[in-house]
Structure 1
Amino acid sequence: MVSQSDLLAFVEAKLAYEIDVVAAAEAQADGTAVIVDTRRQSSWDQGHIAGALHLPNNALDDRLADLPPDRTLIVYGWGPGCNGATHTARRLLAEGFAVRELIGGYEYWVRNGFAVERGDGVEKAEPDPLVTHL
């Protein structure tokens, strides 16, 4: 049986590691964090978080030196069913970076009505009332 203190420690660690889209947008806006898209090129081209850095898993080795060591890196993938961001986070944490994982990924960023960038510019969708706090 897992102890109450072990469960509490797990939940505290989870809260310290994961970040929701509202807090991520605030951290990006105030300059304390860089949002990092871990998806492949074709996914990035379909749309990505406005202002995000594209760092697919297959480019990690070549791009580590490009990452800011003084800011938190918020990694994301497609959504709750994608663990690509988790793989990237593990590698970045092992390299000594401060990392948080975006809960819900790109899907929940879009569903909350935050800015996304596509080839034709930056846009915002209407927030989905099922997920947004607005």
Structure 2
Amino acid sequence: MTDIETSTVSEEGYESTSQVGDYDLTIDATGEGGPDPNSVLVADYASCYLPAFRVGAQKEGHDDLGRVQIDAEAELDGDDDLTAISFDVYVEADVDDDTLSDVVARGEDICHVHSAVREGLEADITAHGDAF
């Protein structure tokens, strides 16, 4: 039994639309018709890490962080493969550096995308011709 199912379709070119539950997500490898896949991955990572950061803060006794913002940056190599991702996390609440360090580590432990972005996690791919 699978836990997550999506469907991604491209009629032509490099733009595709993914059906994720009740939502459509348009991604374009060229970045013209929507964000490119690497940008979506970085945004997804930040979107997963932010609530994990909040949960980590709660476990450290900080229930109200106020506004939290992540500015994410990524580096690409010559083949446009991601080589580095960095987050700058801005917290409205007055939290000391030692506590923030603990919250960052807890967030990494909680964030599912953080766990998934590692060497060795690859799709098991089977292609089917004459399918339509």
Q: Which one has the bigger strand percentage?
A: 2
Same fold (TM over 0.5): no
TM norm structure 2: 0.23
Structure of higher RCO (CA pairs closer than 8 Å, 6+ residues apart): 1
